Amino acid sequence: MKKKSFEDALAKLEDITNELEKGELPLEDSLKYFDEGVKLAEYCNSKLSDAQRKVEILLKKDDSLEPVAFDGLDEENE
């Protein structure tokens, strides 16, 4: 089985969310999609938590965490 990337898991989660929001799936299919979506959300959350810990380690100086602004982050999200 191919190891999934965060981006692939997030894209699949978005697809599942869109399908569920349409409200056109039979109950059994909706439950399967929901179950898969929960697992994907947990996977994505785990990956984000791992990334956050790595960033905190990289920013740690003299045993204290110094927050650093990410230039351009707000511009990309607008």
Q: Which domains does the chain have, with CATH numbers?
A: 6-76 (1.10.287)
pLDDT of residue 14: 97
Q: Which of these, 4, 31, 1, lies nearest to 16 by C-alpha position?
A: 31
pLDDT number for residue 56 = 77
Return per-residue pLDDT of the chain as tens, 78 residues.
356 899 999 999 999 999 999 999 999 999 999 999 999 999 999 999 988 888 877 777 666 666 666 554 444 443
- Report the distance separating Cα 66 and Cα 60, nearest Å: 6
Distance CA 37, CA 14 (A): 9
> What is the model's pLDDT at position 66?
66
